[in-house]
Amino acid sequence: MYSRMFHFSFKSLLGTAMMLVLFAGNIIAQDGAKLFKQNCAVCHASHTDQKLTGPGLKGIFDRAPKGDWLKNWILNNEKMIKAGDAYANKIFNDYGKAAMTVFEGQLTDKDVDAIIAFLQAPPPAAAGPKGPAAGVPVAGAEEAAKGIDPLYLILTFVVVLAILITALRSVRTSLQNTANRSEGKPENPEMTFSQEIKGWISGHRRLVGVFCIILGFAGMKSCWDACYNISVYYDWKTQKGYHPDQPIKFSHKIHAGDNEIACQYCHFSVEKSRHSGIPTVNICMNCHKGIQEGPTTGKTEIAKIYDAAGYDPSTGKYDESKANPIKWIKVYNLPDHVYFSHQQHVVVGKQDCANCHGDVKSMTTVEQKNPLTMKWCIECHRKTEVAMEGNPYYDRLHKALKEKYKGQYDVKFTVEKIGGLECTKCHY
C-alpha cells in the first residue's frame, strides 16, 4: 500500500515538474507589461494622459464602450471603422485618420487580455532621479525596474520540487523495506536517483517520446521568437534609446531644426548609396570657416572642427600635417548579414528619414529611436504602402498589379505584396 502510494506521488510530482517546464515560456509570454511595451508603447502612454502618436490610455475604460469593444479595437480597428462603429470612427477622425496597427494575427486573445489587465492595474511607481548621465541608458537598469523575473520564480520552484522529490524517494524506500522485512521478503537493492529515472523512462517510452517531440517543437518556437526579436549584437549600446556622447557636441536641433539644413547636405550619399555617409570635416568647414562661434557652446566646439581640419582661423590657412580626423561614434548599427539600402528606401520608396531615425530635427544629440529588430522591419513592410504614383521605378509593376487586382478597391499595395518579406531581400 505504502509502495503504491509513494510511487504514485513520485510520478505525479515528476509529471508536474515536466509540465511546468513545458509551459514556463507560455506563462512568461502573457506578461501584459512586456506585451504593451513591445507593441503599444511606441504610440501610447499606458497610465497617463500624455499624447504620443495616439492618445494616453489613462481612463480608457471610462471612455471606451463596455464589453469586448476595446479587445476588438486592438485586434482589428480597421474592421470596426469600416463596419461603422460610432466611437471607432470618432477616434479615427479625432486623430487625423491615422491608421492604427492591426494586431489580428500578431497577438492572440490571451495576449490582448494580458495587455488589458496591465492597463487596468494601478500605474507603476514614478521613476526616481536618473543616473550620472541623464537620459543615457544604464546596463541592467531596465531589468531592475521590472522587479522579480517570473523565470527566477519558476526555477526556484523547480529546485524546491527536486528537493521534495528526493525526500519522498528516501521515505518511500524506507517504508518499502520495512514492509518487506515484516513479510519476510528481501529488501530492495539501493538504487540511485538516476537509476530510478532510467527505470521510469524505460517503462514509459511512449510518454517520454511524445513529451520530447512537444518539447522540441516548443524549443524551436522559442528560438524563432528569439530570432524575430533579436537585438543588434545583443549590446545595450546599440539598442533603442542608445545615446552616446560624441567627440564634438554637434546639435542636430540647431543645424537641421533651427537652421533647416537638409539631411542630404551632410549625409551626401544617402540618395546614391546603401550608406547615408558620415560627413567629412570639409563639409563642416563649408560653413564654419566663416561661422566661428556657436549659439550655445561659443568657440569651444568649433575649435575642435578646426583642429580636425588642421585649420588656423587667425591666418585662414590649412596645415594637413596638423589634421586630426574626428572619431564619430556610430549610433545605428546593423549586423554584417543584413543588407539595407538607403537609396532604395529614400529615392525609390520615398521614405522620410524620420520614419526610421525619429525626429532628428528636435534632438541635440542623436538617439536611436527604433529597435531595428527583424520584427520591426517586417511590420514596417507589412503596413507601408508602395509609392507607385508618379514613380517611374514602379510604372510597369503598377500597371500589372492594377490589372491583377481590378475591382478590389480596398487593396493596399504594401511592400509585403511586392516581395518585401522574402528572406533574400535583406539577408545574403
pLDDT score at 231: 54
Contact 308, 324 (CB under 8 A): yes
pLDDT score at 87: 87
| Residues of the chain under the 50 pLDDT cut | 1-14, 16-30, 126-146, 232-237
* Cβ-count burial 243-276 (b if 16+ within 10 Å, e if not): bbeeebebbbbbbbbeeeeebeebbbebeeeeeb
Reported as a single tens digit per residue, the pLDDT across 294-347 is 999 999 999 999 999 999 998 889 999 999 989 998 888 888 888 999 999 999
Could you write out the DSSP letters of every residue in 39-78? HTTTTB-SSS--BSSS---TTHHHHS-STTHHHHHHH-HH
Contact 393, 348 (CB under 8 A): yes
pLDDT score at 181: 78
pLDDT score at 53: 62
Q: What pTM did the predictor assign?
A: 0.47
Cα separation, 71 vs 104, in Å, equals: 10
pLDDT score at 6: 41
What's the grid cell of residue 326? Answer: 574626428
Q: Count of alpha carbons within 13 Å of 101, Cβ hemisphere only?
A: 19
pLDDT score at 312: 92
What's the grid cell of residue 310? Answer: 588642421
Reported as a single tens digit per residue, the pLDDT across 186-199 is 777 766 767 777 87
pLDDT score at 397: 80
Alpha carbon distances (Å) from 218 to 22, 29, 196, 222, 225? 8, 13, 27, 6, 11
Domain 31-124: CATH superfamily, name plus number:
Cytochrome c-like domain (1.10.760.10)
pLDDT score at 157: 84
Cα separation, 209 vs 200, in Å, equals: 13
User: Domain ranges in the chain?
Assistant: 31-124, 191-228, 373-428
- In three-state secondary structure terms, 37 is helix
